[in-house]
Amino acid sequence: MPPMLDPVPFFQDFVENLNQVFFVYDPAANEVVFVNEAYEHIMGGNRNQVNQELHQLIARLHPDDRPYLANCWRRWQRGRLEEKEIEFRLLDPDGNLLDPDGAEQWLQLKPYRQQTGAEKELLGGFLEVITSQKEYIANADKFNAKKNATLEILSHDLAGPFIMLQQLAEYMGEQVSSLQNERLNEMISIMQTTCKESVNLIRDFVDQEFLDSANVELKTERVDMVERVQQMMESYEQSESLVDKHFQLIAPQEPIYISLDVNKFMQVLNNLLSNAVKFTPDGGHITVTVAQEPTTVRFTVADDGIGIPKALQAGLFDRFTKARRPGLRGEKTTGLGMSIIKTIVGLHRGHIWFESEEGKGSTFYIDIPLDLASNPDGQHKA
C-alpha cells in the first residue's frame, strides 16, 4: 500500500485559489486567525491587517441588516444558528448603498462552527458576492407577482363579456323559442355553451397556477414585504378602470422584513384580492394593509362587497368547502382556494382568520411571525 500523502498542502492551495473569502475566527482571542487571499480583491482589504479592519467592515453593513446579523452572530456563538446561508448587504467604503454597477452589493455567508474541546471553539465560513444572483431573483419575483396579478385581472376582465354574451344568448333563446326554428335554437345553444366553457377555461387556468405553486416545497428568504406588496398593488391600482373597483394600500414607509417563501405568500395575498374582486360590486373598495405588531406582521385584505353568509362561514377553510359560490359575474370556484391559503399560511407558522357580515363586506387577517432580527431571543412566536 503506498504511503498516505499529507493533504494539508493541497487544501492550503485550494483555499488560497478560491473565488470566495474563507476565514477562521477565534472567539476566545477575539480575532481572525486566518483569511485567504480572496479577502483582498472581494472585500478590498489587506489580509495581514484584517483584525484592524474589522470595525471598518462592520461599519459598512447595511443599516437594515445590522440587527439581523447581530442576532445571527449571538446564536452562532451559542451553537444555535439554524441558517445554513446568511445574506446581507454591504455599503461601499464611502457609505453609499450602491456598487459601481448601480446595484446593492449582496453577500452570502455560509457559516461553520467547530467545537475543538470543552472550552475551545472556532467559527468560520465562506463569504461570496451574490449581487447578480439577487438581482436576477428579485426581477423574476417581481415579474412573477405581476404575472399573477395580471392573470387575475384579465380573468375578471375577460370573463365579464363572455358572461354577458351568455346571458344575452339565454334571453335570445327565450324570445325565439316560439319560432320553433331548430337551426336557430342550435346556434343559440352553441353560443351559450361556448361562453360558459370559455369562462371556465379562463378560471381553470388561473386556479391551476395557484394549485401548482402550493405543491412546491417552501423556499424561505428574508424579504422586505412592504416593497413586495407595493409592487403587487401597483398592478391592481392600474387596473381600476378595467375591473371597476377602487384599490388602496396602507403600509409604513420603512421596510418590514420577514423570512418566508415570497412567491407562495404573494399568491396567497393575490388569491385573497381575487376573491375580493369577485365578490365586490362595481365601484366597491378593496384595501390591503401591512402593519408590524409586537411579534408578528399583520396583512389585511378588506372589501365592502356582499360578505359571507353566516351559514357558510364555519367551513370556509375546508377542502372543497360547501362555502364556494360563483362570483358576481358568474366566475367559477373550485372550493380549494381558501384551503390552500390556510395551508400555506400554516407552513409559515402563521395564522389566518376573517370577519364578515352579509351585505357589508369581508376582512381577512394573516399574522406571520416577525423576522429573527426583530426578536431578541431568536425565537419565532405566533
pLDDT the model gives residue 21: 94
Category of 113 on φ-ψ map: left (φ > 0), alpha (ψ -120 to 50) or beta: beta
The helix/strand/coil state of 69 is: helix
- The single residue listed with the C-alpha cell 480583491 is 41
pLDDT the model gives residue 284: 92
Q: What's the mean pLDDT in 75-100?
A: 79
Sequential DSSP letters for 311-375: HHHTTTTSTT-TT----TT-----S-HHHHHHHHHHHTT-EEEEEEETTTEEEEEEEEEPPGGG-
Most confident of 210-219, 266-275, 325-334: 266-275
pLDDT tier, 99 (very low <50, low <70, confident <90, very high otherwise): low
pLDDT the model gives residue 324: 52
Report d(CA 373, CA 223) in Å as an integer: 12
pTM above 0.85?
A: no
pLDDT tier, 286 (very low <50, low <70, confident <90, very high otherwise): very high
Q: What's the mean pLDDT in 236-250?
A: 83
> Which pLDDT tens digit goes with each residue over 24-82?
999 989 999 999 999 998 888 899 999 999 998 898 899 999 999 999 999 998 888 88
Q: Please give the radius of gyration of the chain, using alpha carbons only, rounded to the nearest integer.
A: 28
CA angle 60, 62, 67 (to 5 degrees): 110
pLDDT the model gives residue 94: 65
Most confident of 267-276, 283-292, 368-377: 283-292
Report d(CA 217, CA 239) in Å as an integer: 32
pLDDT tier, 2 (very low <50, low <70, confident <90, very high otherwise): low
pLDDT the model gives residue 320: 57
Mean residue pLDDT of the chain comes to 81
User: Is the pLDDT confidence value at 110 over 90?
Assistant: yes
> Which pLDDT tens digit goes with each residue over 188-226?
777 777 777 666 666 666 666 655 655 556 788 899 999
> Which pLDDT tens digit goes with each residue over 120-171?
889 999 999 998 888 888 787 777 777 777 666 666 666 667 767 777 777 7
pLDDT the model gives residue 257: 92
Distances (CA, A) of 303 to 129, 281, 306: 44, 10, 9
User: Is the pLDDT confidence value at 327 over 70?
Assistant: no
Q: What's the mean pLDDT in 81-92?
A: 89
- The single residue listed with the C-alpha cell 365586490 is 280
pLDDT the model gives residue 379: 44
Residue type at position 123: L
